Structure 1
Amino acid sequence: MSQNILVTGGAGYIGGSVVAELLSRTSSSIKGATVFATVRSEEQVQRLSKHGIGAIQLDLHNETAAMEAVIRNEIDIIIHTASSAVPSHVSNLVKALGRRRQVGGKETYFIHSSILTMFGEDGGWPSGEVRDTDPLFEKEKQLGTDHPGRATDIAVVEQAKAEGVVTFLVMVPTVYGKGSGQGRRLSVNIPAYVRTSIKLGIVYKFDKDGNPPATHISDLTALYALLVEKILQKEPIPSGEKGYYFAMAHRISWWAIMPRLAEGLHMRGLVTEPRAQTWPSYDMASEYLRWPPQFVRAMGTSSGQQIPINAYQIGWQPKWDEQRFLEGMDDEIKAALESDTVPATLFDKLLSPSKGSTGA
């Protein structure tokens, strides 16, 4: 039976790349599915529609509009990439899937994109190793909802349980590489470092190295597609309270990255020194990188001891590792210089009290 899939944030870096990945799967069970994508503006609707994508202009804050879009388009699966830390968005979407389940008489599924760095000390998680097979939902409940990402995770699981919707939580790490969507094609971190370094004439690193989990965008979208395939094939895989998936292919060292950025930018005459200097303060880093003060330390120095199990057990096979990433650093620089015409950071909306979405 054919399925209709809705990807939120269809003009964003991850969402647009997920849409492209699903449309490319012409030899899998996804082939018969119809893919829709939500966007924020009419201009984005026109842009995606030119490429044969069923684009829907939708305000995710509007519960009635979300319900109408899901029911009218008979959506069975939602891949939510537009906002990792807005509980009302997931509540509206899951309620809509619950209603769709009642009307259509078949299972509905919600794949949520969350934040992997929450599962480290800088994210308020207890020290020590943490696996995605651990009782993470129970621990998130114990820690409370002071972190917006954690509050959203809890909302996903609890709302879905009430509505009878099957859920999967993909914990997204630092993502790199050029995206394949029809909108934003660059990630947050490295383009921000490139842009800021050129502005200041110096490449800065933090006073403490970070060794965060990371994944190339193509490997990340392959995981989303794999989850969809498992759903369509009705294979029993971890879901709900047990359905956490650490989308981690490897780790990266910022102190290994920054010298390469300095060398690459200096070679192009864009910075004055071929070596990275240390940020004078976290406040300065926050100001120039356009990262919220409450997140700048975690984004620049976090490490953690996250261990992915679930994704690999269902057959995920990432193609990128740290060595390949570092060897391709010049490509990251070139992509940032050629294509980085979008706002400074996805976190701009967190800097504005009237906005909360983190994608699209």
Structure 2
Amino acid sequence: MASPYNVLITGTSGFIGGSLLADLLSRTDGPIKNAKIFAAARSDEQVESVSKLGINVLQIDLMDEKSVLNAVLKNEIDIIVHTAGAILPQMATNLIKSLGERRRASGTETHYIHTSVATMFSEEGGWPYGQVKDSDDSILEKEKEIGEANPINVLVAELGKAEGVTTYNVPVPTVYGRGTGEWRKLSVNIPAITRASMKLKTVYKFEKDGHPPAIHISDLTALYAAILEKIILKETIPSGEKGYYFAMAHKSPWWEVMERLAQSMHARGLVSEPTAKVWPSYEVAAEHTGFPLIFIRAIGTSNGDLVPVNGPKIGWQPKWTEKMYLDSIDDEVQAVLDLDTVKMTLWDSL
């Protein structure tokens, strides 16, 4: 029997959203193949590009409440996977409220899968509580205690509850690998450092080593798909204030990553030395990588002791390991050389 669900993916011209769309459309069996997939895009050019996939592409200004509401109601959207500008509260508000209106108008259940930032759960990102499992019942309450540091996660859970929309939160860490979407195929972090290194003829690292969580893009899209499958099958899984799904496959040992990056780039003649030096300051790092100064310390030196429980509980098992990641750094450099045709920022990926 065909699934009644209409699924809208935002950010489909971006790295994560585009790769997720490609993943979902490639599935020839399972519950997702029966869902009707819609893609959201911003510009005429992006709409034209994504439309080549033969699906319904909606040109929506996610910051415009009426635009979002009209798109959700007209196309009877039941599930939204939000990967575009997901750190912007207004977008989340518009999407969740529109799903609330859809639920009230149709009487059907509606679901919202939010993409947030895993760095929020590191000491450098404002998380003072140490190790955290995504199955911990107290995450949301702790985020409320933190206050302004993590407002988006609180907003998603509380507004979803108020609107009768079932919400899920996927905190995303460092993502690597080549994307499979139609528009942006490069990740953010390593390409930004690679570009800066090419410009400066030197690979730089921060004075403090970090071991943040990381994930390959294919493992990330598989997590979204696992959540979607459970929703379509009407199975009860953690949601709302308990609906966190840490998208972590392994750690990223930053100093070692930078050394491998330096070796790879030096072998190509892109930098002058095969070893990494320390950034002169956070200000210089922010200027050359393009990351906002307010976030550069957390991006470059964070750790974060995240333990994914809910994802594996619903059947998600990442395939990429830390060793595979480190061994792929040369491929990351090549990807920048092959694919760096569209300027990428932190905000584009989220």
Please, what TM-score do these two structures have when normalized by structure 1? 0.94
* 3-state SS in 1 of match to 2:40: strand
Matched residue, 2:338: 338
* Contact preservation (8 Å) 2:188, 2:349: no
Letter in 2 for 1:282: Y
Letter in 1 for 2:240: G
* 3-state SS in 2 of match to 1:169: strand
Matched residue, 2:20: 18
User: Which of 129, 140, 154 is the aligned partner of 2:143?
Assistant: 140
Task: Could you list the structure 1 runs, at least 4 aligned residues long, displaced by more than 3 angstroms after superposition.
Answer: none
CA distance in 1, matches of 2:125, 2:262: 29
Letter in 2 for 1:340: D
Q: Report the Cα offset of residue 121 of structure 1.
A: 0.6
Deviations 1:66-115 (A, max 9, x none): 00000111101000000221111111111111111122221000000001
Q: Report the Cα offset of residue 327 of structure 1.
A: 1.0
2:289 is equivalent to residue 279 of structure 1 = no
* Contact preservation (8 Å) 1:173, 1:247: yes
Q: Report the Cα offset of residue 139 of structure 1.
A: 1.0
2:191 is equivalent to residue 191 of structure 1 = yes
CA distance in 1, matches of 2:265, 2:41: 34
Over aligned residue pairs, what C-alpha RMSD do you find?
1.1
Matches within 5 A, 1:1-360: 1-134=3-136, 135-144=138-147, 146-147=148-149, 150-347=150-347, 358-359=348-349
* Contact preservation (8 Å) 1:48, 1:54: no
* Contact preservation (8 Å) 1:85, 1:151: no
CA distance in 1, matches of 2:349, 2:77: 20
* Contact preservation (8 Å) 1:202, 1:272: yes
Deviations 1:297-318 (A, max 9, x none): 1000000211111111111110
* 3-state SS in 2 of match to 1:257: helix
Q: Report the Cα offset of residue 10 of structure 1.
A: 0.9
Letter in 1 for 2:303: S
Letter in 2 for 1:33: A
* 3-state SS in 1 of match to 2:130: coil
CA distance in 2, matches of 1:219, 1:228: 14
CA distance in 2, matches of 1:345, 1:61: 19
CA distance in 2, matches of 1:40, 1:259: 38
CA distance in 1, matches of 2:309, 2:157: 20
CA distance in 2, matches of 1:254, 1:317: 24
CA distance in 2, matches of 1:264, 1:190: 13
* 3-state SS in 1 of match to 2:245: strand
CA distance in 1, matches of 2:79, 2:191: 32
Letter in 2 for 1:44: Q
* Contact preservation (8 Å) 1:110, 1:167: yes
CA distance in 1, matches of 2:41, 2:74: 17
Identity, % of aligned positions = 55
Q: Report the Cα offset of residue 127 of structure 1.
A: 3.9
* Contact preservation (8 Å) 1:210, 1:254: yes
CA distance in 2, matches of 1:304, 1:226: 24
* Contact preservation (8 Å) 2:187, 2:349: no
Deviations 1:9-54 (A, max 9, x none): 1100000111111111211101111111111101111111122132
CA distance in 2, matches of 1:102, 1:23: 29
* Contact preservation (8 Å) 2:203, 2:271: yes
* 3-state SS in 1 of match to 2:195: helix
Q: Report the Cα offset of residue 2 of structure 1.
A: 2.6
* 3-state SS in 2 of match to 1:245: coil
Q: Report the Cα offset of residue 344 of structure 1.
A: 4.4
CA distance in 2, matches of 1:224, 1:72: 25
Deviations 1:189-223 (A, max 9, x none): 11011111110001111111110000000000000
Letter in 2 for 1:181: G
* Contact preservation (8 Å) 2:121, 2:306: yes
CA distance in 1, matches of 2:84, 2:344: 17
* Contact preservation (8 Å) 2:100, 2:110: yes
Unaligned runs of at least 5 residues, structure 1: 348-357
* 3-state SS in 1 of match to 2:235: coil
Q: Compared with structure 1, are the counterparts of its residues 173 and 359 closer, same or farther at alpha carbon in structure 2 (3 Å cutoff)?
A: closer
Deviations 1:119-146 (A, max 9, x none): 11111111421111121111111211x2
